[in-house]
Structure 1
């Protein structure tokens, strides 16, 4: 009986050890699977953020290029309008045919992945350095976009005020500048015309200058963050 009891005891201990080993193996396998899933999700998110940054860089370069071109046209037209030989008829012709009221539209930054990660708490999948860089980038992005909207609204107000006094060629204008409508420009007050034109041009110039400065700074910061991400994958 003692021998049988000893064997049963040893057998029970062996069974317990096997169960414990099985549990430990299962836990380890589960940890490996979770780690693999985490790394896979991290890689997917990193790739998505990089694509957002690269898309922003391409878009910002094009936006800055168009804004710079628009600003140059405005400066050239300012010199043209300020020439000594510029008569009232020339000013009217400028407003009817040559004024460029179009501004470069901004569609927004490609930061959907970052904002989604913040909301879901998955930003913690990144190391502290990258999290800080992405946060630091979000600050000028938000400031640049808000400033853009403020200056854009001011500029739209100027176009509205100018168009309220003179039928300048704006998109979807109801009254077109045709020879039949020349009577609209009869008895134009040169002083009033110059003051409104000056106000419009000054606001547009500030709009362009601020866009060029702010978006260039944000572009450089975006390049820095992308470089850090690419370096981290080396």
Structure 2
């Protein structure tokens, strides 16, 4: 199956298949999706982290409507830090991603009118195949010692930074192990400073983008609430 953008992967994990409603932190999801678009651009060599800023290295379109729009925006605007780009990109991004998923038949838009004038939209899954593939990749990454590919490693780090681990829907007895594995993948990829960049499972240029965006997400969300 052809891979889909990381932002779409995050959204499909966050939305309940049956109710079509987002679970977990909405701000965390929006920040994570904004970071995901930037990471996808880094994965194909379009952007890099240089001297504190995200900079465009190649303006060639990648063939994805949202990613190409973001690439054009990055190229045309003055340099901004990763944290600034997250805030500039997160607004309405989820709506655009949902529209694309609806157009391709991956989710469906259920418009429920309440009180005759309040429109509530739900987005239940219509095509399970994409999410099944995503969850299979994550299961392999989190339950085995197999080295994940760059995209899966980045996805794991985004899930942790955006506090979306509940979206994994793991039983309580597996959640703690999964959390430790997420941290191990992040460290092994150089995202948490736990690996020499030359020994990282991802390219240093990608690792720099992911680690700075992950830190920016964590800072934006603030300290986690103590249960």
TM-score range, shorter chain: under 0.3
Relative CO higher for 1 or 2, CA cutoff 8 Å, sep ≥ 6?
Answer: 1
Q: Which has the higher helix share?
A: 1
Using structure 2 for the length normalisation, give the TM-score.
0.23
TM-score (structure 1 length as normaliser): 0.23
The structure carrying a bigger strand percent of its residues is 2
